[in-house]
Chain A
Amino acid sequence: MGPIMDLTIFGFLVQDGLTTGAVYILLAVSLVMVFTVTRIVLVPQGEFVAFATLTLAGLERGDAPGLAWLLVAAGVLAFVMDLSAARRRGSRRGIAAAAVLFLAVPAVLAAVALYGIGASTPLAAKIAVTCAMVVALGPILYRVAFQPMAAASPLYLLIAAIALHFVLVGAGLYLFGPEGVRTSPLLDGSTEVLSMPVSVQTLLILAASLGLNLALFAFFGFTLQGKALRATAVNRRGAELVGVSADYAGQLTFALAAAIGALSGVLIGPVTTIYYDSGFLLGLKGFVGAIIGGLAAYPAAAVGALLVGLLEAFSSFWASAYKEVIVFTLIVPVLLWRSLAHVAVEEDHD
């Protein structure tokens, strides 16, 4: 048998599992959101996380952030695509908005990141710039990679998502280098919960995850924009006919997904070493959680993601060499159960 478990170790493992689980919840919720609205399995979800951590670490070290160049280049590409689409249509409508979203915003953010950040800049400002850049990248990536083929079947969209993932990982290696990074903790110190030492960073991650989930709940439940996204998920053509275009829904969803990824990256940076390609594994664990909810149900996806976090913590204690294997093996029984329990899911919609 492996090492001996006692109550202290158990407590630490639960704490560890909840911390990573809280981040997996965010990723799982984002994957469900993107899939239901756009039918895209967002394989590059983890890249948003990794890019945020790596950019923040770079800003802390005082390096010029490579993400700024990626953002500007992708933004120019997106704008050129909009421009040529407008020429085909024979109208200039929408070009001004595209110029702001794809040219002005990335340019301003890149300028701030490259020249506005010094050694004395407070951490909060660095975090804000990092998150803003990643969020701005979301709609741009949708415009470039998915909008031209938005009507395609989910399988084609999945293949495009995988391709985008490889492009982004490659860009990440070029822009950030192969070294792993950790960012400095947002809050130092530790406190006691149930006579167990708990780091404040852990509590912060839990609170932030809970807060973000509540914010998303409020957005989808109470705002017209949130309802428009849900409407797109329920009936794509109906949404189109009330003026919620697939382009609008897709870009808004990707901005949200990027925001969730960026915040996850900021949260996880101080507790996990992140490499340019760490995002994939993080996203995949969120995906395992999302699969438990059938890629369609939020609460189930959240519970699943929390389970993944706990399972990972405990398997890294008992069989650390197999911890990924154990987590991903979870997919098989879950898919079996879902395929037996939900035969007619597709026909239920309408």
Chain B
Amino acid sequence: MVEVVLARTEALRVCYGRVAALHDVSVTIREGQIVTVVGANGAGKTTLLCALMGLLPHTGRIEFPQWPTAALTVGERIRAGVCLVPETRDLFGTMPVEDNLRLGGFSRRRDKAYSASRTLEEVYTLFPRLKERRRQSANTLSGGERQMLALGRALMAKPKLLMLDEPSLGLAPLVTKEIIAAIAGLRDRNVSILLIEQNARAALAVADYAYVMETGTVTLEGPADAVARDQRVVESYLGARRREDPAVAPAPQDRPAAEERTATTSSIGDRRFAAPVRQGRAGQGSVA
């Protein structure tokens, strides 16, 4: 099988002020794969996605071999088919669900082959709940529906490479399952995925290839099932050894951190990218 590389970074380095959030990160995303990046809070996962999307200044290389112009700006990446669903979702809260979705296709508005209404129907088929709620404003949706809307809005742009930042953040386990299943289904529709998850167990179960990040650098990579069996990963992220109560949801030690993170981002709002820095430093302490 010939493997087509969609995105690649080499020696990627991102700094917030003098603090390096990423150093020497090299990852490759191939067509038709779900690639996941697991790691503790503050390992630099969100920073990696923001840098890949062109939202952060960086040194080192970011390449999109299929679309050479995509490396230029955020807008060029979206037009080429690279989309990001951020962990803050960044929905248009006061606007109806359907307007949110239609705006997802904004970058394709001059594209003659693109039909907004047909794509809208596809998204509604994937998430029938959104169709029921299409006249409601996005603010009134539940957490799971908001994530569906964020995914649906990204799918309206017909992405080839979809980057998802913590799609299960703040969701009930059952909803998480539903979302992860939908993501796995996207791979079969020829959408390649870069998935970042706190819930390492769920991410590794669905992914083809995995990277493990710690304090801004990749410490381990390989096929997802091999990574899931790695002793260090089992100990640190899947929590098999130290788990106190095996009946609770996966990776319980991640839970308080995830909640804390939600609180931080919601109070800071959508305006700042500074949030990962502070979390990053706090997170590094807790990992070490």
Contacts and interface: CB of A to CB of B under 8 A. Distances in A.
Interface in A88-136: 89-91, 93
A115 B51 CA distance: 52
A172 to B, nearest CB: 35
22 contacts: A90-B72, A91-B72, A93-B76, A227-B103, A228-B106, A231-B103, A235-B90, A236-B271, A237-B271, A238-B90, A238-B91, A238-B92, A238-B270, A241-B78, A241-B154, A242-B103, A242-B105, A243-B75, A244-B106, A349-B93, A350-B93, A350-B269
A245 B74 contact: yes
Contact of B93 (A228, A235, A243): A235
A336 interface: no
Interface residues of A, number: 24
The SS class assigned to the A binding surface is helix
B78 A237 contact: no
A91 B79 CA distance: 15
B102 A237 contact: no
A237 B86 contact: yes
Most interface-central of A91, A230, A241 (chain B CB within 10 A): A241
A93 B72 CA distance: 10
Interface in B154-199: 154, 156-157
A224 interface: yes
B69 interface: yes
Interface of A: 89-91, 93, 224, 227-228, 230-231, 234-245, 347, 349-350
A89 B92 contact: no
A243 B90 contact: no
A236 B75 CA distance: 14
Contacts of A237: 86, 88, 90, 270-271
A58 B78 CA distance: 47
B5 interface: no
A241 B82 CA distance: 10
Nearest to A151: B271
Ranked nearest first, the 5 interchain pairs of A and B with the lowest CB-CB distance are A243-B107, A238-B90, A243-B78, A234-B92, A231-B92
Nearest to A86: B72
